[in-house]
Amino acid sequence: MWGLCIFYNNGSYVDFGWPSGFTIMSLVYMVHGSGVWVHRAVISSLYVVAGVRFMVGWVWGRRHHVKEDHRWQHWRQRWASGQGVLGIKSIPFNFFVFYHCQSFTNALIMQFPLELAAKNASPKIHVLELLGVGIWISGFLIENVADMQLTAFSVAQAKLRKKDPSRADMKAVMKSGLWRYSRHPNYFGEFLLWVGYAVYALPVCASPLDMARLLFLPVVAYYYLVHFTGIFMAEQVSVQRRGEAYVQYQQETSMFFPWFPTKINKAA
C-alpha cells in the first residue's frame, strides 16, 4: 500500500490497507484457530463485516482510489515544515512511517482478540461474549447512521448550491442527528467496535499479560482515532474550511464521547 501511495501520489491507500489487513487476519484465525469454532466464527465475522464496510466505502463511496482524501494534503504540509518523524521533511519517508505504524499496530495489537478467541475451547457462550457483540452492534449502528446523516447533509447542501447559489452556505456545519451530541459520532462508533472485540475476548484471558494486552487495545484505538489518524487532522481541516462556524461548533459540542450540547452566551 505504501508503494501504491508513492506511485499514485495518493496517501489514502492506507485507509484501504488497514481494514484489508485485519480482514485477512480474521479469516486466517477463522480457518486455523484451535478452539471451538463458534467463538472464532463470531468474532471473525465481526472483523470481516467491519473491514468490508470500510473497503467498499473507500472504493465506491468516497472513491479514494482515484481521489485523495483532503486530509493528506495537510499531513504533507506538516511534514514539509519539519513536523515529521525526527524532524525529517521527506514526504515518502513520513508516509512510510505512517503506513507501517498502522500495519504493525494491526499485527501486534488489533489482532489480539482474534488470537484469544480462536483458542477458546469452552463449549458454552460466555455472557461477556454476548456483551461484546452487543457493544459491537451498537458501535456499528452509530458509525453507519452518523455517516448516512452526514452524507444526506452534504447532498442537500450540494443541491442547494446548484439550485440557488445565493442561498447556499459554503461554511455550513452539520449539527443535527448524532452530530448534535458529538463532533465525530462516526469515530466514536468505530471506537465501540474495538471495545466490543476486547470485551468479547475477555473470557479467554489466561494471564495478567493477556489482560493487559487486551485492555490496551481500546486505548490504542482511542489514540489513533482522536490524536493520530482521525480527529486530530479532521478538526484542523474543518476549521480551515468552515472558519468561525466550526469554531462555534467546537465550543458547543463534545469532541468524541456523545453529550448534550453546551449553550454559548454570544453576548458575552
Q: What digits encode the pLDDT tens for the residues 64-98?
A: 999 998 888 889 999 999 998 899 999 999 999 99
Confidence at 265, pLDDT banded by 50, 70, 90: low
Identify the pLDDT of residue 267: 45
Side-chain half-sphere CA neighbours of 57 within 13 A: 14
pLDDT digits (tens, 9 = 90+) for 15-72: 999 999 999 999 999 999 999 999 999 999 999 999 999 999 999 988 999 999 888 8
List, for residues 154-185, the tens digit of each pLDDT value.
Answer: 888 888 878 877 665 667 899 999 999 999 99
Q: For residues 47 and 25, what is the distance between their CA atoms, to the nearest angstrom?
A: 9
pLDDT of residue 167: 60
* Residue ranges of domains in the chain: 1-123, 125-261
Determine phi and psi for 259, rounding to 5 degrees. -155, 165
* CA distances to 30, 46, 199, 253 from 25, in Å: 9, 12, 19, 37
Length of the chain: 268
The pTM assigned to this predicted structure is 0.93
Q: Rounded distance, CA 167 to CA 186, Å? A: 29
pLDDT in tens, 115-148: 999 999 999 999 999 999 999 999 999 999 999 9
